[in-house]
Structure formats: structure tokens, C-alpha cells
Copies of this chain bind each other. A is one copy, B any other.
Amino acid sequence: MSAPLAIPTLNDVAKAAGVSTATVSRCLNSPDRVIDSTRDRVMQAVHELGYSPNFGARAMASRRTNTIGAIIPTMENAIFARGIQAFQEELRQSGYTLLVASSSYREDIEEEQIRTLVSRGADGLLLIGHSRDPEIYKFLATQGVQALVAWSHNEGAKLHSIGFDNRAAMRTLTESVLEKGHRRIAVVSAKRTGNDRAQQRILGVMDAVAAAGMDSEATTIFETSYGIETGALAFDQLMALATPPTAVICGNDVLAVGAMKRARELGLIVPSDVSITGFDDIELARIVVPALTTVHVPHREMGTKAARILMDMVEGKSGGQTEKLDADVRLRGSLGPPADLS
């Protein structure tokens, strides 16, 4: 009466269909190597038993997993979502499964996640940015796991990468800000530790400041963790300075939106009282009022290309390649001339 509680295995299917396990395996993996009548019988047994292959066993026996892992700093806020979505779609078309993990912007968690994904058999890994313990690259090498960096371009780095030049893009954006006449600017950045995008973006701001002959000391840099609320708090602090900035350049759109929110709460009009800019051009940038001036990043293109490069690496078709994408400034309502010039 009581059903067998054990979960069905290949062996059970084989018995039920009256064939060997090899034949069942063939039905599942290369159906054309099996005669129709046999296959039908096997597939019926598969359905009747509710059989589902054991991935671990399969991976172990066949020595491949067709799995790619990606570790992103955060799943919240759409910064990485769109790119990862495209990455996944491209992988899927070629029969790969994507495993996504997030590191909460913490290096130690990222390392743990790398180990977890490798352990689970990822053939390749997509990582964000270049800064991490070199030890981990050695680990990936001994494990024979290919890795590619995205969201950051860097010719000389340990790993191949696909991304844009964060520094140059931020320099261009900052130049636009300076052209409007702003001379008191402040930067709200994500934590720079272990985050080369944040580092590069600040350097980009400084490049433009220096090129304009301004005193780089006069540019306040406020570092905070990632989030709308933290962006709002940073804005508070900046506006409380003796000589508050007329333009606040934020390291990403999320911080910028937080700043805009607080500006509104403080009764400040953007951009006439203060200009605010972002970086990433996520959907949010066009929802806020006024729309956010930011740097547009080709998320989907990056995701798609990353998938192709990484698959080629995993399949041994190439040793990888480094590619630079264009990121361009989108001027929108949140940037205007400073009050004393208007």
C-alpha cells in the first residue's frame, strides 16, 4: 500500500522500462541513438515515476556541468539586474544554466561565494570589478575555472574584462558640470574599498577638476554605503557645510536619487538650488523629477557580450578577450547652472 518513499533513480526507470541504465541515459542525453519504440517505453517510465536526474551524479560522471556562475554586489536596485538578465538569456540559448550569488559589496562574502559556486561545479564565473585578493585568482586557476570581469574595463588586469572606462566617463560628466559654471562641487561615492568602479569614478571627477585648474582640495568627497537612504543622509551632511556645494556628483544613480529625495524634503529645488548627477542610467533615473543627468551604461550589450566571451573561454575556443564599451553622458533636468549664474 505505502508507496516507495525513495526518490526514483535511473536504475528504477531502467527496471520499469525493462532496459539497462545505459539506454535510459542515452534516451535522455542523445535520443537519436536509441530506437523509437524503446525510447517511448523509457520516456513513459520516466513520467510515471516522476524521475528527475541527479545533477551532482551527472556532473561527476560526465565531468561537465554547463553551469556558469555570476557574483554581483547586490540584487537590489536595478544596477546589475538588466545586464545579468541579458547575460542569462544569452547563456540559456546555448544550454548553460546561470547561478547568481550576491556579495553585499563585501570582499569576504564574495570570496565565499566564489568558493561555493566553484564547489557547485561552475565552469566559468562572471565577476564585477577588478579589486580582490590575488590569492583567489590562484584558486580559480588550480580549479580550472575561467573568469571574466564585467562593469569595468582594464587592459592590464589579471583577468580579462568587458566594460567601460569608469574614469573617463566620470571625467566627461564632470566636465559637463563644470561647463555649467559650477565651482563648488561635492562627490557622494560608494565605499571605495574593494570597489574599483567607485575608485575610478572619483579619479575621473578629479581629472576634470584638475584639468579645469581648480583646487582639488576644495572638492569634498563623501563616502557612504550603497542605498537611497544613505544617499539622502550624505546629501544632508554636504548641505550642512559652511559653503555647501552647488553640484553634487553621485557615484551611482541610487545615491543620486537619495540625494534628490532629500533635496526635495529640504525644500531645495533641483537644479536651480543644487544640481545632482548620477551614474548607471537605471530606469529610476528617468522616473524622478527632474530626470537625472547621468552616465548611460550599455547594460544589455555588456551582458550579452560577456556571455559569449565567457562561453568561448569555457569551451576552450579562446583564451578570453578584453573589450571596452562606450558609456556616454545623458544630460537631463537635474543638471543646470548654479544659482549665482542663473
Q: Which residues of A contact B (CB under 8 A)?
A: 5, 7-8, 49-50, 52-57, 59-60, 75-78, 81-82, 84-85, 97, 99-100, 115-116, 118-121, 138-139, 142-144, 228, 257, 261, 264, 283-284, 286-289
In the complex, what distance in Å separates the CA atom of A100 from the CA atom of B144? 25
What residue of chain B has the Cβ atom nearest to residue A8's Cβ?
B142
Known pairs A7-B142, A76-B81, A264-B289. 17 more at Cβ < 8 A? A7-B143, A53-B119, A54-B60, A55-B120, A55-B121, A56-B60, A56-B120, A60-B60, A75-B100, A99-B99, A120-B120, A261-B286, A284-B284, A284-B287, A287-B287, A288-B288, A289-B289
B75 touches A77 (CB 8 A): no
Contacts of A59 in B (CB 8 A): 56
B5 touches A52 (CB 8 A): no
B54 touches A121 (CB 8 A): yes
Whole-angstrom distance between the Cβ of A10 and the nearest chain B Cβ: 13
Q: What 4 A-B pairs come out closest when comparing CB atoms?
A: A56-B56, A50-B142, A55-B119, A55-B120
Whole-angstrom distance between the Cβ of A44 and the nearest chain B Cβ: 15
What residue of chain B has the Cβ atom nearest to residue A139's Cβ?
B50
Residue A228 contacts which of B82, B115, B138, B283 (CB distance < 8 angstroms)?
B283
Whole-angstrom distance between the Cβ of A167 and the nearest chain B Cβ: 28
A76 touches B76 (CB 8 A): no
In the complex, what distance in Å separates the CA atom of A193 from the CA atom of B181? 54
Whole-angstrom distance between the Cβ of A213 and the nearest chain B Cβ: 37
Residue A85 contacts which of B75, B84, B121, B289 (CB distance < 8 angstroms)?
B75
26 example contacts (A-B, Cβ-Cβ < 8 A) are as follows: A5-B144, A7-B143, A50-B143, A52-B115, A52-B118, A52-B139, A53-B119, A54-B60, A54-B121, A55-B119, A55-B120, A55-B121, A56-B56, A56-B57, A56-B59, A56-B120, A56-B121, A75-B75, A75-B84, A75-B85, A75-B100, A76-B78, A97-B116, A99-B99, A257-B287, A264-B289
What residue of chain B has the Cβ atom nearest to residue A258's Cβ?
B287
Contacts of A100 in B (CB 8 A): 75, 100
In the complex, what distance in Å separates the CA atom of A56 from the CA atom of B7? 17
Contacts of A116 in B (CB 8 A): 97
Whole-angstrom distance between the Cβ of A12 and the nearest chain B Cβ: 11
In the complex, what distance in Å separates the CA atom of A84 from the CA atom of B115? 22
In the complex, what distance in Å separates the CA atom of A53 from the CA atom of B118? 9
Whole-angstrom distance between the Cβ of A270 and the nearest chain B Cβ: 11
In the complex, what distance in Å separates the CA atom of A85 from the CA atom of B109? 14
In the complex, what distance in Å separates the CA atom of A144 from the CA atom of B77? 35
In the complex, what distance in Å separates the CA atom of A20 from the CA atom of B127? 36
Contacts of A56 in B (CB 8 A): 55-57, 59-60, 120-121
Given A75-B81, A76-B82, A81-B76, A228 and B121 contact (CB-CB distance below 8 Å): no
What residue of chain B has the Cβ atom nearest to residue A81's Cβ?
B76
In the complex, what distance in Å separates the CA atom of A261 from the CA atom of B289? 9
Whole-angstrom distance between the Cβ of A216 and the nearest chain B Cβ: 32
Whole-angstrom distance between the Cβ of A113 and the nearest chain B Cβ: 10
Contacts of A138 in B (CB 8 A): 50
Whole-angstrom distance between the Cβ of A273 and the nearest chain B Cβ: 16
In the complex, what distance in Å separates the CA atom of A84 from the CA atom of B102? 12
